[in-house]
Structure 1
């Protein structure tokens, strides 16, 4: 018999995330309270009602519920209405000089039965009980699967929404720089007419403007693609997505706490689902082990029985009541039973290692996202300062160029640098929100109805 793998020890889990000893967690906050943007809340609500994957998950729960009903019904007696007709031959050896001498005579007989028959397998070894236990665990796992899909869906909608806000902000920065570059191009054209600039300078400014305009078109296409992707998650055809205020004005939580790692076992749906799958696989092993033992069956019956079909309803002579018992022990199918037990044991071990993997993955995701949110906040502060400095540098380079102390290449470089800094700042702000949403999901938040 294969050994069952040991259950994981909670003491092996670290006591905190990155040394954070706060016992509260943002994962306990309902998604309606975690997100403040009313447009985002409306989108999440639409997704929870219309998303095809979530609707399919509801049907998987119904399938698991039906499997549980089947497993429960297997433990109860079955009652069937039966009509049975049997014909057979009775061989009689007629001795003492019959008309046929020592030859056999054959008598044809008929038997008819109409009534009720029940069959009940006595579950002495727990085979049926463990099958019911496995079915119940898988039913509960299917519900956890729906919760897992819900928290993933909430996170996906929020990430796509903030991705849109980030792209809007990048497009705004591009359009602002297009206006600056158009103004610079007009100035350099005037200076060329006055003999203070060359055609090469005009071409350089023009090329920079064309490149920035093409970048704006690329951003618009990205916005369309993200909008369409979000509409697909919402379960509807492509249409414009209404957005709230700029991502630069969106609020971040003042305190971001993750709680203690052991809380993940009680809050993350994927860990709970893996644990229930492990319990189901363990019950399957016990059921497969019981298949090696004999099974006991009780078959009571009641009805009418006669050798003549017209006389079947002649009561009380035709009334019968009986009780049969049977013992079935595997002999020739022993190899198949051993193979089924080996298969169940392997699935059980696979479920155990899968459970361990989910625990390790959950801890890694929380630890990484906690650090990511903190680091990107610091990065954003630096890039915000960088953008301010480079914006001032553009103004300075323009003044110096007009006074003849800077070349047009320095102006072009300054304008290109400020655009790059603005885009980096917008992207970093977006990454903070994406990391925060992923942290919320990894802490098991978002599945609460």
Structure 2
């Protein structure tokens, strides 16, 4: 009866201690994330048709570009490094899953011990006899058996850690997808830049032919006393200037080719491309859909979403550290001071069962600091998530405006090139007939060259803008 009353008192004391600990656990409210986005982009009508759903193989039509992307997705070093990180996050799930299951170990142990005679254990052993013989000295001990330990996850701490690991893994997968999108975009950007440089080199070579012909005419006119040495010098200088530009472009081509080789994980080599078809490359219409689709299509937004989910669980884990932990440990096996007695049961049978309830009571500063840090990290994740959403919307809005304006700019540049190209022949005829001076011829040739190069740059910008809107909408990783 007395024992029953005593046990009841101890039980009540334990409950009171748990309630006291629970009441002392700090609580910190963290605001909810804002995922609101406008219904449309700029003044566009609502249309759910979205280019982001198109696979990159279908989005690009150039077989050389598709081949480069295929190679990069296999051999790019940064992407392969990222894949290993994803695999490590996956392994972390398995590790966390095992933590809330019982740990069972098998053991075999051999010991030897010699205690002093003038100690309690030594004096007792001196008086003991076993089978009419003195107590063995030194004392040996042999044991084999199983041991088990288990932390009862009553506060869901271990399960939340495992769920957080799952979200971290999913976040790493989205990070890999985002890297894939950027890699596809960067290769396409660099490929079109390389094609643009090839076309610029062709334009400079054509312009050099025109200027060399003009220089020949000026020399003949000087011989006929129709012009001066100054005109000849100016045309020579212009030829030299364009030869210098030619070598600059050739160096840029080498660097750009090497960049593509680096992205594809290959040694420096010639990059096959369709430069002759650059200015006639068709630019397909892109469909932006509605802004809310960004939350599902953009890998960086989904990565931020999973990181936020993981941070919420980590906050719960940090809060659970204030509660007492319940551990159960047990062991069963055979133990004897001589190996021949190990199989003598039940005399050699040994077992144990221990239950522990341990909770922090005084000096919990480290736990409080960890909880505050987890709350701050959760708030950080909220800001990161909201920033990713806002950044995605602005990127798409900018690219839609860019595509619209570049189309107008290209048409105007094409008209300018057509006029200036005709002006070159006209200025040359007028110069031959002494109705225009050499400066007008030089200026016309220079303006025509600049306009042609600007037209090529505008075409490149159009192609890159089309890639960027595809990436901004969340395409390129499927």
| Match in the other structure for 2:101 | 76
Secondary structure, aligned partner of 1:120: strand
Secondary structure, aligned partner of 1:228: helix
| Match in the other structure for 1:34 | 59
1:333 offset after TM fit, Å? 5.6
1:312 offset after TM fit, Å? 2.8
Contact persistence 1:165–1:246 (CA under 8 A): no
1:308 offset after TM fit, Å? 4.9
Map 1:331-342 onto structure 2 (within 5 A). Answer: 331-332=361-362, 334-342=364-372
Map 1:109-120 onto structure 2 (within 5 A). Answer: 113-120=143-150
Secondary structure, aligned partner of 2:435: coil
Map 1:142-161 onto structure 2 (within 5 A). Answer: 142-161=172-191
Aligned with residue 355 of structure 1, among 385, 388, 397 = 385
Contact persistence 1:90–1:108 (CA under 8 A): no
**More off after superposition, 437-446 vs 18-27:** 18-27
C-alpha RMSD of matched pairs (Å): 2.0
Aligned with residue 53 of structure 1, among 78, 90, 96 = 78
TM, length-normalised to structure 2: 0.87
Deviations 1:350-406 (A, max 9, x none): 111111111111111111011111111110100000011111111111111111111
1:428 offset after TM fit, Å? 0.5
1: distance between equivalents of 2:254 and 2:338?
Answer: 82
Secondary structure, aligned partner of 2:277: coil
TM, length-normalised to structure 1: 0.92
Secondary structure, aligned partner of 1:72: helix
1:298 offset after TM fit, Å? 1.4
Deviations 1:177-219 (A, max 9, x none): 1111011000111111111111111111111111111111111
1: distance between equivalents of 2:445 and 2:57?
Answer: 42
Q: Does 1:13 align with 2:44?
A: no
| Match in the other structure for 1:345 | 375
For structure 2, which runs of at least 5 residues remain unmatched after alignment?
A: 1-26, 125-136
| Match in the other structure for 2:350 | 320
2: distance between equivalents of 1:69 and 1:333?
Answer: 33
Contact persistence 2:286–2:470 (CA under 8 A): no
Aligned with residue 188 of structure 1, among 196, 218, 223 = 218
Contact persistence 2:257–2:269 (CA under 8 A): yes
1: distance between equivalents of 2:112 and 2:150?
Answer: 24
Aligned with residue 311 of structure 1, among 341, 351, 371 = 341
Q: Does 1:177 align with 2:207?
A: yes
Contact persistence 2:321–2:367 (CA under 8 A): yes
Contact persistence 1:90–1:109 (CA under 8 A): no
2: distance between equivalents of 1:420 and 1:435?
Answer: 22
Aligned with residue 398 of structure 1, among 428, 437, 447 = 428
1:91 offset after TM fit, Å? 6.6
1:320 offset after TM fit, Å? 3.0
**More off after superposition, 142-151 vs 313-322:** 313-322
| Match in the other structure for 1:97 | none
2: distance between equivalents of 1:442 and 1:258?
Answer: 9
1:226–1:205 Cα change, 3 Å = same
1:112 offset after TM fit, Å? 5.2
| Match in the other structure for 2:16 | none
1: distance between equivalents of 2:207 and 2:336?
Answer: 101
Q: Does 1:432 align with 2:462?
A: yes
| Match in the other structure for 2:451 | 421
Secondary structure, aligned partner of 1:388: helix
1:3–1:110 Cα change, 3 Å = farther
Deviations 1:122-175 (A, max 9, x none): 000011011001111011111111111111110011000000111111111111
2: distance between equivalents of 1:108 and 1:331?
Answer: 44
1: distance between equivalents of 2:365 and 2:140?
Answer: 41
Q: Does 1:234 align with 2:264?
A: yes
Secondary structure, aligned partner of 1:438: helix
| Match in the other structure for 2:160 | 130
2: distance between equivalents of 1:149 and 1:344?
Answer: 27
1: distance between equivalents of 2:112 and 2:143?
Answer: 9
Deviations 1:239-281 (A, max 9, x none): 111001431021110x221111111110111111111111111
| Match in the other structure for 2:395 | 365
2: distance between equivalents of 1:419 and 1:108?
Answer: 101
| Match in the other structure for 2:322 | 292
1: distance between equivalents of 2:74 and 2:379?
Answer: 37
1:325 offset after TM fit, Å? 1.2
Equivalent residue pairs, number: 433
Contact persistence 1:178–1:209 (CA under 8 A): yes
1: distance between equivalents of 2:56 and 2:441?
Answer: 47
| Match in the other structure for 2:30 | 4
Q: Does 1:248 align with 2:272?
A: no
